[in-house]
Structures are given as C-alpha cells and as structure tokens.
C-alpha cells in the first residue's frame, strides 16, 4: 500500500496538470465568459489597467472620449480638450524643435504628452506620473551652481514647492519679478483665487461599452 501511494505521488505532477489542453481550454472559456459579461453589463472598469488621474476620472464612464478601441493616445487626442491651455505653453513643441535642445530631448521625450501624463499608472500629482525631480532631466545645473539663488534647493522641489509649473511660467518670469520688486514678500492675508467651473453637460454621457469596441459603429 505504501509503495502504491508512493508511485501515485510521483505520477501526479501539478505542472503536467496545468499543461493539459482541457485545463487551458477551460481557462480560456472562463476568461471569454468574464469579458463577455463585462461588455454585456457595461462594466468597463474591469478593463482599467490602473488608477485614473483626478482631472480625468470623470471620463472613466466614457472611455471613447480619449480612446479609439485599444489604440494608443496621441498628442492630437490631448489637444482636443487642452488646445486653449497649450496656446501659451511655455514648454511648447516649437521650443523643443530648436536644435540646441536635441540632446536634452534624449533625457525626456517632451514632444509627447504621455511622456509625463500617462494615465492609469501611479500619479505623483497634477496628472504627472514621473517622479517630482523630472525637471532635473534638463535643469540639473540650476541646483548645482548655475543660479546662486537656488543653492541648496532639492531636486524634487521645483513644482512640489509651488514655484514652477512646466506649462506656465508667468509667475516666475523676469518680467513678473521686475513689475513686483517693490511689493512685499507675502500678502497681508494670503488667499486662494476663486475657481469657477462651467459645466457644458448637466449629467455624464450614458455609458455604452459595446460602442467602445465598435468605435461608435453599429
């Protein structure tokens, strides 16, 4: 009896069981059933590979606002919503087409929006998935002696400290500084500006996952 049990133990190998075509077919059927159920019930959240940034979380109910089937996001996709903001972009594409910055573009692909704003991954804030020291890809010399005013500054403090914004430099431009040299360092009572948001839709669009896969076609 002991010898029979020993032989049975040697003949049963989990690896061989997993290689069985019946097991593989069964797993495929379960996956297809799960995907079909998600499509039928409009449970598109099961396809999200990770978290969505705060600014885009409303679009989770309408994936086709940004996606065409499973094609990658392009710059044109982003500018459909952000064209007005990018009109005065301090780090616009025109700046980086200058041959002087060709070597720096090898450190960070600044010509592509998703280089910094890739959705469904961990965000460090402001919809940016890169670590807060991202400015050092081009501006490391600023904290290494190029600017005496920045001696001792941390590499990750450019925008986390509230001083710099990649797309808008109006607050720290030399023109702004000249205009405000006679102003106090701090306002008597610091206040946040009022934010007014005008919504074009009263309710979010009705989700329809079947159209997501058909790219809006019936």
pLDDT digits (tens, 9 = 90+) for 10-65: 555 555 555 677 777 777 877 777 666 655 555 566 667 788 888 888 887 778 78
Mean pLDDT of all residues belonging to the chain: 78
Confidence label for 179 from pLDDT (cuts 50, 70 and 90): confident
What's residue 75's pLDDT? 92
Percent of the chain residues past pLDDT 90, beyond the cut? 16
Q: What is the DSSP letter of 54?
A: G
What's residue 13's pLDDT? 58
Q: Where are the domains of the chain?
A: 1-47, 48-182
**pLDDT-wise least confident of 51-55, 90-94, 148-152, 207-211:** 207-211
Q: Give me the half-sphere count of Cα atoms (radius 13 Å) on the Cβ side of residue 36.
A: 6
Distances (CA, A) of 203 to 40, 64, 66, 200, 210: 23, 17, 18, 9, 20
Helix/strand/coil percent split, the chain, to 5: 45, 0, 50
**Closest to 56 in 3D by CA, of 113, 134, 138:** 113
Distances (CA, A) of 207 to 41, 83, 137: 10, 25, 40
Q: Write down the pTM of the prediction.
A: 0.58
């Amino acid at each position: 009896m002991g010898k029979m049990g020993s032989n049975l133990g040697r003949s049963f190998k989990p690896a061989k069981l997993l290689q069985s075509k019946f097991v593989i077919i069964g797993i495929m059927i379960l996956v297809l059933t799960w995907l079909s159920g998600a499509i039928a019930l409009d449970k598109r959240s099961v396809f999200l590979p990770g978290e969505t940034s705060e600014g885009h979380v409303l679009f989770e109910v309408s994936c086709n606002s940004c996606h065409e089937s499973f094609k990658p996001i392009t710059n044109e996709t982003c500018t459909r919503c952000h064209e007005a903001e990018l009109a005065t972009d301090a780090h616009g594409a025109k700046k980086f087409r200058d041959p002087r910055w060709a070597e720096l573009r090898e450190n960070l692909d600044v010509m592509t929006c998703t280089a910094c704003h890739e959705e469904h991954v961990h965000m460090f804030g402001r919809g940016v998935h890169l670590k807060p020291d991202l400015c050092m890809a081009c501006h490391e010399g600023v904290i290494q002696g190029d600017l005496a005013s920045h001696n001792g500054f941390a590499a990750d403090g450019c925008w986390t400290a509230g001083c710099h914004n990649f797309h808008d430099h109006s607050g720290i431009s030399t023109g702004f500084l000249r205009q405000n040299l006679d102003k106090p360092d701090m306002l008597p009572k610091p206040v946040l500006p009022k934010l007014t948001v005008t919504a074009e839709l009263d309710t979010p669009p009705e989700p329809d996952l079947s159209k997501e896969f058909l790219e809006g076609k019936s």
